[in-house]
Amino acid sequence: EIHIKEPTEKEVNPRLLPGELLLCEASTVYKYIQEDGSNRGTCGKLVCTNFKIAFLDDDSASDDNEPQFKNKIVGENDITLQCVDQIYGVYDEKKKLLTGQLRKYPEKLIIYCKDLRVFNFCLRYTKEEEVKRIVSGIVHHSQTPKLLKRLFLFSYASAAPNNIDGRNQTVMFDTLEDWCDELERTKGNAKYKAVSTNEGYRVSEKLPLYFVVPICVSEESILKYEGKGIPIWCWSCHNGAALLKMSAFPKEQDDITSQTQKAFLDGICKTISKPPYELLKMDDLSSSLPSLQDIQTAYTRFKQLFLIDNSTDFWATDVKWFSLLESTNWLEIIRRVLKKAIEVVECLERQHTNVVLIEESATDLCCVISSLVQVMMDSYSRTKSGFQSLIQKEWVVGGHSFLDRCNHLHKSDKEEAPVFLLLLNCVWQLVQQYPPAFEFTETYLTVLSDSLYVPIFSTFFFNSQHQKDTNTSGETLKTQSGPFRFLTVWDWSVQFDPKAQAFLNNPLYAEKPKPDKSQRKTSRFK
């Protein structure tokens, strides 16, 4: 049953961002309304640009039905190209995955999104030429491997006005001062120092320009080991115990090399902790937590429970919902990660032990655990600006490979793993358990996870600070006004007006009172 409206006089055109180009469009497309299994839908135009796929119906022209919480960049019927997960075509009631060149064009298009939305479009009433153009356009622009420079991020940065100042309260950790301030804030400066050895990336392209190491570590040894096997400071507890992370030394080495490395590490350990030297716990996360492959497999199964495009499947899964959820193993992984974070918290707080987290590159599960420990132990990390600074410190500057882990360029599925989403999911569990302890809401966490796929912010679109720097200042990219200024995701005014931003803040937030010095001695560890 299709309600044909009288054609309205005004043409519905997409709102384009600076640098956004319309690539192809098709009119008389029907978007099915999902909820009730009937074939009701609205008629409109389906367009594909170099930034998004958008469905424009006649209602989208009027502003009467504006939702309270509205995103200024990505509307309800918009899917950014990075957010497309899989595209299916329906041929004679049969579903087929669409990739590459198509010989035959489908009568229905189903788009699964990475934020778990599902869109159903009917193309039966669309002109054949337009069907060919829109379907092949959507499949090509959202599924084929891309070059980094072809990301919309660069088109937007060169076309957008450069007057937005992203410097809000979030600490970006791209200067030596930021690290010194953080040492000062956590009182870690007695045993640790910020170093600029990596300026010009002469030590390693994976490490940030500035980072913090134990005072006894010399510049020569950082250069000698290329930053591997050097304990890098994350955070200091009020009792002086510190959390560090370290990328593992390469496994295959001769004995002499590994002995010098061991001696070097022992030397550091002796200066970090007072005798007896057992006060240092090395925790190899690659053996005590699930592998990235396990995490990816579990999440893929978990996703399948939500990407349902008809009511028959819905009711079939609904009957066995809890056992299906359990069998994905995703919740079990969240439980193991939270449990590991609590173990580390106990070492720092109760046993006054320094903890070194070890992982091959120290940029995946190290980021998850160190972030969770800080969220649990440091009330500043539970404020909005503190949490944002934490992500900046541990993830963005810390060298988490967002580009590969989110597979933004569709290069290789092998590298893909929802590590950052795992952190947000764990934090969500904590927000559920201790609502007044957090200044931000679950809406904030959701919006943050959605922003992973909005390529106008540079925050989640590079593998390292080095990759971002080399692509920002490259000769070819000089715009009229000097090098690129990318937006940071932490400037929420780009996506939301003030009324909508209010939904990101928790009105019931209760700041933790500072403990009185005289009472601290007697208080028990909780």
Work out the pLDDT band at 522, boundaries 50, 70, 90.
very low
Cα four-point dihedral sign 394, 397, 401, 407: positive
**Residue 228 CB contacts under 8 Å (≥ 6 apart), including other chains:** 204, 247, 248, 249, 250
Distance from C-alpha of 212 to C-alpha of 218, rounded to nearest angstrom: 12
Rounded Cα distance, 195 and 176, in Å = 8
Q: Are 90 and 40 in contact (CB under 8 A)?
A: no
Q: Look at 99 and 341; give whichever has higher pLDDT.
A: 341
Q: Does the structure show a pLDDT above 50 at 411?
A: yes
Q: What are phi and psi of 500, to 5 degrees?
A: -75, -35
Instruction: Look at residue 516 in the predicted model and tell me its pLDDT.
Output: 59
Predicted pLDDT at 472: 83
Provide, rounded to the nearest whole percent, the portion of the chain with pLDDT above 70.
88
Q: Is the pLDDT of residue 307 over 50?
A: yes
* 22-59+71-144 topology per CATH: PH-domain like (2.30.29)
354-359/242-247 β-pairing: parallel
pLDDT in tens, 462-495: 999 999 999 887 544 444 455 678 999 999 999 9
pTM: 0.92
Q: Any alpha helices (H) in 57-162, and if so which ranges? A: 128-143, 152-159
Mean pLDDT of the chain: 88
Is residue 521 pLDDT above 60, yes or no? Answer: no
What is the percent of the chain where pLDDT is above 90? 71
List, by residue range, all CATH 2.30.29.30 domains of the chain.
Answer: 22-59+71-144
pLDDT value, residue 55: 97
* Burial class of 30 by CB neighbour count within 10 A (0 to 12, 13 to 18, 19+): buried
Number of H helices, E strands in the chain: 18, 14
Asked if pLDDT for residue 25 goes beyond 90, the answer is yes
Write down the pLDDT at residue 477.
47
Give 135-159 pLDDT, tens digit per residue: 999 999 999 999 999 999 999 998 9
Q: Is the pLDDT of residue 277 over 50?
A: no
- Going by pLDDT thresholds of 50, 70 and 90, the confidence category of residue 62 is low
For the cut 90, the answer to whether the pLDDT of residue 202 exceeds it is yes
